[in-house]
């Protein structure tokens, strides 16, 4: 009875605490508390998903991302601030340390306020580039909202982004019955470096460009970036799977644009924006509510008849048949579900000593509660220290790098096939037989002939 009660309590706690896979302490940095009202729906959504939100301003004395060397918060949301810097508590170094300590950061920019120098340095560190003078505005004369920005053309209307490339899971495509337009108002675009850790969620359409509204208000001659090279929402997933997202337009997350009616150039009727669903997906991804992979267990064993099939032995022999299995789960909003590799992508096992001797595709066995990927193969004809390695690093999925070391020994003296089993050896066996029988016959005749020889000599 008592155990049943504790199980129920545990389940209750599990349901209530169902939130991000990496903790629920969220710090929101904004200019002053009054600004909260502008983002009430977004923040309310976060709260309803189970985050414990703390609000701070950059000037606050008590603001500290670390306490006694431990993270005080699991996630940070940075809303635009007017100050030039972010103060001594949010230096680029501290923010990087926060990422290194597995904290997630959602950063928002705006064209109306210049980005703080601290943020510019942090982004440079991550190879994300902002327009010069920390200020830029993205406009598009073809995909703008005619109802709110008929003159300035700075409210971009974009279709939902879809997957970055084939073979990736589509995390950021909100669906809606009427229209599928995202509003990107008064935003600052970024350009991304070549790093493999960087991946854009939302790119600007081909006709968009970024310019400096202060200096180039009359003539736009020197563009910061244009078209697809301009990233509006970009991400960086560090090697420790900590996530960092830059949203070019903070207004995108504001109440005003969550359910606004927008009208694209040339369209007759106004449609509702998808910003709310998109904001949920972007914040959910950044705060590790989706796209988090977990290795449940890894198992390998000898796959030969008549041998002991103990799990995870430390040693194998060359040319042994071996089976390797790995069980993976994916966190989806509030629970772990079986992980399915996206179509046209593959999960691979490397059997490597310095370089891979085998790189094999793992085949899935997916049930409602578990997904196991396994492959059976024959070990290479090479002894040494080998690794079973699964190295699965994809944009928007947390990194998997599982390495299990085993020794591979050579054949023992008595493990070779006997010569009489190999028909090719029979002539040589016959050769030995002939030598031995010939020798025996020779000895017999030698001994037999001894007396006569002695007689002859005498």
Partner 1 sequence: MAPKKSAAAASPAPVSTTAATTSSSSAKTSSNSSQQIDQVALNIVQHYQKNTPQRTKLLDLFMVFLVVVGGLQFAYCILAGNYPFNAFLSGFSATVGQFVLTASLRIQTTEANKSEFPAVSQERAFADYVVGSLILHFFCVNFIN
Phi, psi of 377 (to 5 degrees): -155, 170
- Shortest separation between residue 456's beta carbon and partner 1, angstroms: 7
* Separation of alpha carbons 151 and 148, rounded Å: 9
Using the minimum distance from each CB to partner 1, give the nearer residue, 175 or 447.
447
Using the minimum distance from each CB to partner 1, give the nearer residue, 34 or 447.
447
Using the minimum distance from each CB to partner 1, give the nearer residue, 297 or 416.
416
Structure tokens at 74: 């699991």
Half-sphere exposure of 213 (CA within 13 A, CB side): 16
- Shortest separation between residue 339's beta carbon and partner 1, angstroms: 47
Using the minimum distance from each CB to partner 1, give the nearer residue, 2 or 418.
418
- Shortest separation between residue 318's beta carbon and partner 1, angstroms: 17
Instruction: Report the DSSP pairing between strands 52-56 and 25-29.
Output: parallel
Structure tokens at 148: 């709110």
Binding-site ranges for partner 1 (CB under 8 A): 416, 418-419, 422, 424-425, 427-432, 434-436, 438-439, 442-443, 445-446, 449-450, 452-453, 456-458
CB 425 within 8 A of CB 332: no
Using the minimum distance from each CB to partner 1, give the nearer residue, 14 or 430.
430
Using the minimum distance from each CB to partner 1, give the nearer residue, 10 or 416.
416
Assign residue 244 a region (left: φ > 0; alpha: ψ between -120 and 50; beta: otherwise).
Answer: beta
Structure tokens at 391: 């190295």
- Secondary structure letter of residue 411 according to DSSP: -
- Shortest separation between residue 306's beta carbon and partner 1, angstroms: 21
Residues 6+ apart with CB under 8 A from 311: 299, 300, 301
Structure tokens at 204: 């600007």
- Shortest separation between residue 450's beta carbon and partner 1, angstroms: 8
- Shortest separation between residue 380's beta carbon and partner 1, angstroms: 20
* Separation of alpha carbons 87 and 69, rounded Å: 20
Q: Which residues are paired to 389 by β-bridges?
A: 350, 403
């Amino acid at each position: 009875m008592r155990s049943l009660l504790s199980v129920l309590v545990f389940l209750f706690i599990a349901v209530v605490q169902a939130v991000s896979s990496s903790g629920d302490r969220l710090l929101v940095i904004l200019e002053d508390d009054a600004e909260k009202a502008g983002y009430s729906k977004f923040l309310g959504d976060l709260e309803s998903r189970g985050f414990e939100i703390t609000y701070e301003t950059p000037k606050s004395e008590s603001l500290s991302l670390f306490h006694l060397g431990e993270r005080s918060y699991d996630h940070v949301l940075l809303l635009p601030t007017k100050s030039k810097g972010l103060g001594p508590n949010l230096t680029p170094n501290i923010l990087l340390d926060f990422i290194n300590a597995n904290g997630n950061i959602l950063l928002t920019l705006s064209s109306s306020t210049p980005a703080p120098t601290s943020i510019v340095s942090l982004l440079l560190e991550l190879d994300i580039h902002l327009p010069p003078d920390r200020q830029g505005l993205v406009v598009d004369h073809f995909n703008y909202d005619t109802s709110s920005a008929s003159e300035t053309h700075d409210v971009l209307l974009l279709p939902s982004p879809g997957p970055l490339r084939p073979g990736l899971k589509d995390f950021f495509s909100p669906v809606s019955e009427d229209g599928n337009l995202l509003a990107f108002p008064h935003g600052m675009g970024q350009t991304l470096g070549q790093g493999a850790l960087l991946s854009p969620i939302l790119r600007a359409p081909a006709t968009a460009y970024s310019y400096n509204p202060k200096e180039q208000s009359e003539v736009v001659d020197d563009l910061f970036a244009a078209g697809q090279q301009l990233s509006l929402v970009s991400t960086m997933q560090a090697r420790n799977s900590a996530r960092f997202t830059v949203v070019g337009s903070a207004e995108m997350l504001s109440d005003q644009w969550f359910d606004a009616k927008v009208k694209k150039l040339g369209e007759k009727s106004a449609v509702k924006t998808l910003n709310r669903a998109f904001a949920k997906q972007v914040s959910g991804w950044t705060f590790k509510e989706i796209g988090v992979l977990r290795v449940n267990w890894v198992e390998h064993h000898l796959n030969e008849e008549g041998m002991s099939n103990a799990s995870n032995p430390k040693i194998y022999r060359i040319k042994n048949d071996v089976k390797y299995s790995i069980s993976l789960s994916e966190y989806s909003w509030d629970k772990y579900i079986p992980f399915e590799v996206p179509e046209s992508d593959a999960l691979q096992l490397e059997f490597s000593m310095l370089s891979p001797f085998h790189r094999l595709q793992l085949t899935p066995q997916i049930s409602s509660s578990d997904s196991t990927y396994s492959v059976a193969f024959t070990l290479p004809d090479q002894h040494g220290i080998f690794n079973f390695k699964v190295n699965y690093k994809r944009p928007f999925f947390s990194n998997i790098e599982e390495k299990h070391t085993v020794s591979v020994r050579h054949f023992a003296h008595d493990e070779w096939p006997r010569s009489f089993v190999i028909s090719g050896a029979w002539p040589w066996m016959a050769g030995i037989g002939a030598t031995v029988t010939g020798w025996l016959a020779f000895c017999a005749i030698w001994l037999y002939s001894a007396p006569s020889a002695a007689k002859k000599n005498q």
